[in-house]
Amino acid sequence: MISKLAQRINNPAGNSTVALAIFLTSSIYAPPALAQESLAERVWSNSTELGWVFTYGNATTNSFNLRNVFEYAWVDADLNLEFGILRADSGDDRFALSTEEAFEIIEPPVEPDTDRVYAKARYLRNVSDRFFWYGRVDVERDQPAGITFRLAPAGGAGNNWETPENIELRTGYGVGYSAGEMTFDGSNNYFGYQLFYEFDMKVNDNTDFDSSMTFDGSIMSMSNYRFHWANGIGVAINDRIALKASLRLVYRNDPALEEIDLESPSGAVLGNVIVSKKKLDAGFTTSLVINF
């Protein structure tokens, strides 16, 4: 994605309508210093990933995932806006109610098993070919992980590494603040640190591989850390459409708590107990990618 932006900076589009739209948008939203820059020095791109699976009959499931990444670049800076949704719903097994002679078949309603929504915004400024500074804000809701809401502003610096032409590698190091509301635990606020890398490789003319990881944690509790690791490989069908397979891993060393039923061997509910949620969440998705 980064290399595509650089190529388009050197070859600006000649369409007057697009140029006018960019000019009006930048005049409203860009800082004064940026608004004065030449349109020839700017470029934008947008990539949308969409996946959906639906089944009905003896099994009812509905799975939907959406990820959109918008990038706006200047000669020495870029703005990245990203949001995503991952939702999976399923229905429990049906059952009969009443007696064997006269019963009613009950179809349980379809309920969400996974519900994750997130948004990210990052502004990055290159000080030199090898050094940059950045500021970012992350917002998320992850119900299965016990996160009702989380807001995490952060800022720092990093390096652009010298690599072969088909590879791009960037690393960053920063500090920030996390303000969260957990489903069972309540508030979870702390000052923390942040480390990340971004890796992009052009495998061949039609295939791209990307990998990124963000590692963050609390400076007040060294056991409270987590990482988000995402990997994807995309195969282009044409200039605008591609197919992509992605693997996402999220590890939380200090996961949220939850309350579950305590049952006897016979299945009778005896009460409730409080336990930790699992530390690792993994997700594999296949998507149709539309590039603008």
- Tell me the pLDDT tens digit for each residue of 3-58: 444 444 444 444 443 333 443 344 434 444 444 444 445 589 999 999 887 777 66
The one-digit pLDDT tens for each residue of the chain (292 residues) are 444 444 444 444 444 433 334 433 444 344 444 444 444 455 899 999 998 877 776 666 778 889 999 999 998 999 999 999 988 777 676 667 777 777 777 777 766 667 889 999 999 999 999 999 999 999 999 988 889 999 999 999 999 999 999 999 999 999 999 999 988 888 889 999 999 999 999 999 999 999 999 999 999 999 999 999 999 999 999 989 999 999 999 999 999 888 888 888 877 888 888 899 999 999 888 899 998 8
**Residue 28 is assigned to a structural domain of this protein:** no
Tens-digit pLDDT profile for residues 85-101: 988 777 676 667 777 77
Residue 263 domain boundaries: 44-291
> Does residue 176 fall inside a structural domain?
yes
Assess if residue 95 is contained within a domain.
yes
Please enumerate in sequence order all residues whose Cβ is within 8 A of that of 57, keeping only pairs 6 or more positions apart, or say none.
none
User: What tokens does 66 get?
Assistant: 């959406």
Residue 36 lies in a domain: no
Tell me, yes or no, whether 37 lies in a domain.
no
128 belongs to a structural domain: yes
In a domain, 27, yes or no: no
Q: For residues 246 and 209, give the distance between their C-alpha atoms in angstroms, rounded to a whole number.
A: 10
pTM of the predicted structure, to 2 decimals: 0.75
Q: Which residue has tokens 């309508």?
A: 17
Buried b (16+ CB within 10 A) or exposed e, 223-245: ebbbbbbbebbbebeeeeebebe
Within a domain: 30? no
**Residue 78, domain CATH:** 2.40.160.40
Domain total in the chain: 1
Cβ-contact 289, 243 below 8 angstroms: yes
Q: How many CB atoms lie within 10 A of CB 287?
A: 20
